[in-house]
């Protein structure tokens, strides 16, 4: 299932994907999904807006659901993120967060941390569950 803004879901033409248009700042529909994946989403938003997204994810998920967050969040990155963080500050009024900062945001939304999986020198999958 692809849930995104109307302009994005209209561009998706893969026949196996269910497309649902909406705004994750307002509500994420409860569609019985086992999980939600946010890939390079939260780093675009300041803490207040990131909390809105995470709270809406929490409400949309069934108990035991899994939240996958893919971000530049390795505790010991091999890549210097300072210029990327500067870019995020200028473009989005946000910044690159540490893993601990993602854990804190997700914990405040009600999620429990499960584990992390490092994808490469830059990106990590942070895995959370809804109790």
- 14 included as an active-site residue: no
Which of 38, 43, 56, 97 is catalytic? The answer is 43
| Residue among 85, 11, 4 nearest 44 (CA) | 85
**Cβ 129 vs Cβ 111: under 8 Å:** yes
Give me the sign of the Cα torsion angle 101, 74, 54, 49. positive
CA 70 from centre of chain? 7
C-alpha pair distances (Å), 75 with each of 24, 44, 86, 96, 100: 28, 19, 18, 12, 8
List active site positions.
43
């Amino acid at each position: 299932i692809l849930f995104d803004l109307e302009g994005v879901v209209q561009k998706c033409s893969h026949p196996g994907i269910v497309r649902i248009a909406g705004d994750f700042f307002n509500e994420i529909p409860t569609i019985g999904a086992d999980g939600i994946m946010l890939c390079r989403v939260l780093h675009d938003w300041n803490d207040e807006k990131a909390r809105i997204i995470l709270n809406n994810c929490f409400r949309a998920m069934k108990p035991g659901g899994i939240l996958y967050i893919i971000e530049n969040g390795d505790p010991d990155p091999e890549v210097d993120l300072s210029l990327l963080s500067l870019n995020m500050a200028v473009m989005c009024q946000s910044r690159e967060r540490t893993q601990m900062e993602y854990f804190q945001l997700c914990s405040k939304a009600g999620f429990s941390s499960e584990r992390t999986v490092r994808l490469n020198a830059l990106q990590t999958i942070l895995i959370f569950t809804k109790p």
